[in-house]
Structures are given as structure tokens and as C-alpha cells.
Amino acid sequence: MNNHPSWILIDTETTGFAKPIYTVELAAQRMRGWERDGKPFRYLLNHGCQIPAEVARVHGYTREILERDGSPPEEVYREFASYASGLPVVAYKTAYDWDQVLVPEWQRLGLEPSGVRGFCALQLAQRLLDPVPAGNCKLQTLRQYYRLSEHGAHTALGDVETVIDLMQQVLRPLAEKRGLDTWEKLMGFLEGEWYPSRLAFGKHKGRLYQEAEKDGELRGWLEWLVASTNEKSSQMGRWYLAQLTNGGGRADAVLLDSEMAADGAASGLLIYQDPGLKHYQRLIELARNRLADLELDYGVERAKVDSVRSRLFVTLRPYYQKRDRLRLLVRYRKAFIDRLLAEGEDAADEAAEDFQRETTDKDREYDSTASALEGKRELNDDEAAKLKLLWRKLVRMFHPDQFGNDPEIQKTYMLLTQSINDARDRGNIELLETIAKNPQAFILKQGWSSVSLDEAKGLMELRALYEHLQAKILELIETLDDLRGSADFALFEYAEHDAGVLDQVAAAQRAELEQEIEALNTEAERRAKEVEELTGEVPF
């Protein structure tokens, strides 16, 4: 921004969405234009309130941690008022962090607001990236999609750092291309009426409104929207039609020429445009490489999680297996009694047979799980790099849209993908090398139908393939985020810093299992006595 205005970027971690909402972490960074200005601000706050377990699992702050490390809220907000100095305050979700969290909290505490309400960084991202290539504007999705630096996800300071990276590396060049080079212009851009290019509902959900220039049916739907009795829907329809009439239908998000867009795609920076054949080929190549990197990250991190699961499984298997067998025993002894009284001995004997069959199946399930976990291993840096190179080659075989009309070839594609994924999950680099060296030979050796792995030639085919790859990328980003947010991944991270953590967890889980086993044993014996009283023996 040419006039280099000062403002404050903030984020909060809280007790959740149930009111009243209390702040447990407040982080901020003074900004001058697009750049950091000085040191960040960060405090934990101790309100003396309970933190819901499901919320604590997300940001990691418990009541005990806050009582130990937190500061009195009034003290924190005095410090923040001094830091903010009455400047505009911006958040990624201003409607939440400012409107629902900080302002009500200041009112409860009898404090004056610190600073003034600024713009919403989420709205800025939605407008500048429209139509959003990452599918959505969740902060962690954009971080993954644009390959921004790793910071502490779901911590206030980590999210502040991520928003700064997003602004500097992605949003700033787009804003400057639009001529949004002052604070006033940026605010004016955000204050104007706006709706996303990609329709969010209705029979044409997912389509770009610009397509109505050539599609009469879509234009008719927009005109129908204008006639809606709902004023908001009608206003939206009028806005879309006005954009088409005023020339706004020609994607005004085209801010980069083809070469710049291709370069940007390498780091994830993609702007909507209608590229030609060569440009789509380049985008597809970049998308495949991106997918390969994500597959590698997922494979490596899932292997780490599985290594923790494996160690716990080996330690606790006898206890889990004994507990599950007792659960079955209690259930089927009860079923035996119920059937005996209602239908007679023959029906009761069927319950005994069902018990034996399900017990055998459960034992096989344990053996299968043990086998699967034993087959997984962590990759060292050299192996991970090799796996990455293999994936860059193998990802070129992702052409499901070509096989949609041929069930046999589609089946082959799915089987090949499964083999590749299994090899990745197990760290089986040798198998990946075999497939990469001659995929057709591998396919034929399995006895599958042959498939064509040639590149799609037409623009429509390339566009469909690119959209498919983008969908796979977004799906994998979500999957990777879910993995990193799981309890098993958190346990792996704890275990990396303290090897004794797994032993502590195993001991705690073993104690819980032993209590459950004792209770189930008591219940099983009680049911056995009931059976013996009725039949004179215990059949199982």
C-alpha cells in the first residue's frame, strides 16, 4: 500500500461457540502496509472457566494449562490496548474474533474497545481469489494449497503468521494488479456489493455465472432469480445480470498473463482464466506434481501415525482381544437365554454357533490388523525423496475421466490406483518402481484389462482432467488436515519429544481395559449361572 498505513492483525483461540465465549489466547501483529512492523503480541488468558474437552483437543489449552500459564484478562487487555494504539483491527474472521469474541468480552469486563474494527481478511481472500481455485477459503486449506510456511495450526499466533504469509505471497500481488494500492482503495473494494462468480445453490450450483453469456438456460435462471419474492435472492440476480451487461462477465479475475499464471501455479497461485490447449497442458503438469507432493506428505505422515498405532496395538492387543471376546460372550449368553425361553433349545443352540463364528471372525480381524501394521514402515529422508520422484511420474496415470464410459477400463484404473496407494502406504518403493518402469506390463501381469495412458488431446478433455486433478488435490488437503488434527497425530508429536509418552498412554489404556475386563468377567459369570440353572450346563 503506497501510503503504508498502520493496522493490527489479530486472532483468538476461545472456549468454543457456546456463549458466553471466553478468549484463551490472543495474538496480534502490528502491520505497516503489507509488512510486519515490530514484534508480535501474544498472551494466554485465564478466566478460571472450564474448557470443553472437544475444544481443548483442537487448540491444546486446558483449564490447568491456563491456570498455570495464563494471565488475568484485564491485564492482557491493558497490554493489548497499548499495543493496538487505537489502530484498525483486522482478523481473518472479523465477524467472529471481533464481533462475537472480543467486543462482548470487553463489555463483560467493563473495558473500552482496543482499536477500531477493520476489514475482514477472509472477505478479501474470497474476492481476490474469486473463483477460489482451492475450492474454499478455509485458512488451513489455503495454507496447504498455496504451500505457505508451516506454523502452529489452531494457535492464535500460528494463524496470525499464516494470514500474513497469505497476504504477502498471494493476496498482495492480486490486489496490486487491481490497483488496490492504498488503504482507502482496499476498503472501498471490500465495501462494494459482491457475490461469488461460482453459483452456490440451485440447479446450476458450481457453475460460473459468466457462462450465462453463451448459455441461455443459465441466463434464464438468473432472470428467474431476479423475479424471486425473496429480496436477497432478487438482489443477487440483479447483480449478476448487471455484471454481464456491464462487461463484468468476462472474468475480471484474469490478472496474470499465461506465463505468469503458469509460474504462479508452481507455488499454487492460480487465477481463473480461459486458457488454451498449451496452457491447460502446463497447468495439468503442475497439478500432477502438486498431487504427488501431497500424496508423499500424506504417506509419510500416515506412516508416522501408523507406527504409533502399531506400538500401542502390540502392547495392548491381548487386553483388547480379551475385552472383545468377553463382550461377545456376554452378548451371546444373553441371546442364548432369550432364545431358549422364547423358542426352545434348537434356537438357543444357534446363538452358541453364532458366538463361535463371530469370535473366529474377530480373531481374524485382529490378525489382519496386526499384519497391516507390521507391513508399514517409516521412510528416511532419502526414501521419502525417492518416493516423491516416483509419485511425480505415477500421478500422470490419473485419467479417470477418460474411462467413465468403459466399466472394464474404469475397473483397471481403480485397481491400479489401489496398488499404487497400497505401495505408498507400506513404503514399498520397489513396487512403485516396477509400476513406474512399465505400467502396462504391471497391468497385464495382474490379468487386468489394458488401458490407454495417452494424454487427452482435446481442450474439453484437458479441462475435465485439470478439474479432476484440482478436486483430488483439495480432497487430499482436507484428508491431510484431518490426519494432522487427529488424536493419533497429536500423540505421535508428543512421542517425538518424549519417548516415554507412549508407555504412559499404554499404561493408562491398559488400566482402563483391565477395569472393563473385570466388569465383563463378572457379567459373563452371572450369565453363565443363569444358563446353568436353565439347562444344567454352560455350552460356551
What pLDDT shows up at residue 82?
96
DSSP per residue, 161-194: HHHHHHIIIIIHHHHHHTT--SHHHHHHHHHS--
Within 8 A by CB and 6+ apart from 158, the residues are 151, 152
Cis peptide before 72 (omega within 30 of 0): no
Q: Residue 212 carries which side chain, given as an amino acid letter?
A: A
Domain with CATH 3.30.420.10 in the chain: 6-191
CA pseudo-torsion sign 457, 463, 468, 473 = positive
Beta bridge partners, 29, equal 9
Say if strands 35-36 and 23-32 run parallel, antiparallel, or are unpaired: antiparallel
DSSP H/E element including 367: helix 345-374
Is 216 strand, coil or helix?
Answer: helix
- Which value, to the nearest 10 degrees, does the dihedral of the CA atoms of residues 87, 90, 91, 92 take? -160
Percent of the chain as helix, strand, coil, to the nearest 5:
65, 5, 25
The domain over range 6-191 is classified in CATH as 3.30.420.10: yes
Other beta carbons less than 10 A from residue 216's beta carbon: 8
Q: How far apart are CA 426 and CA 419, in angstroms?
A: 11
Does residue 476 contact residue 297 with C-beta atoms inside 8 Å? no
Rg (CA), the chain: 29
Cell of 302: 500416515
What pLDDT shows up at residue 379?
61
pTM > 0.75:
no
What pLDDT shows up at residue 400?
47
What pLDDT shows up at residue 248?
56
DSSP per residue, 444-464: HHTTPPP---PPP-SHHHHHH
| Chain length of the chain | 540
Is 247 strand, coil or helix?
Answer: coil
Q: How far apart are CA 439 and CA 432, in angstroms?
A: 10
DSSP H/E element including 63: helix 63-69
What pLDDT shows up at residue 372?
67
Q: Residue 381 carries which side chain, given as an amino acid letter?
A: D
Residue ranges, the chain, pLDDT below 50 = 249-275, 398-402, 455-456
What pLDDT shows up at residue 405?
55
Q: How far apart are CA 29 and CA 38, in angstroms?
A: 8
What pLDDT shows up at residue 469?
78
**Between vectors from CA 317 to CA 315 and to CA 323, what angle results, nearest 5°?**
130
Does residue 113 contact residue 89 with C-beta atoms inside 8 Å? no
What pLDDT shows up at residue 367?
83
Beta bridge partners, 9, equal 29, 90
Does residue 60 contact residue 34 with C-beta atoms inside 8 Å? no
* Cα–Cα separations (whole angstroms), residue 310 to 132, 317, 369, 432, 447: 39, 10, 9, 24, 33
Q: Residue 47 carries which side chain, given as an amino acid letter?
A: H
What pLDDT shows up at residue 374?
64
Cell of 460: 474439453
What pLDDT shows up at residue 473?
84
Beta bridge partners, 198, equal 208
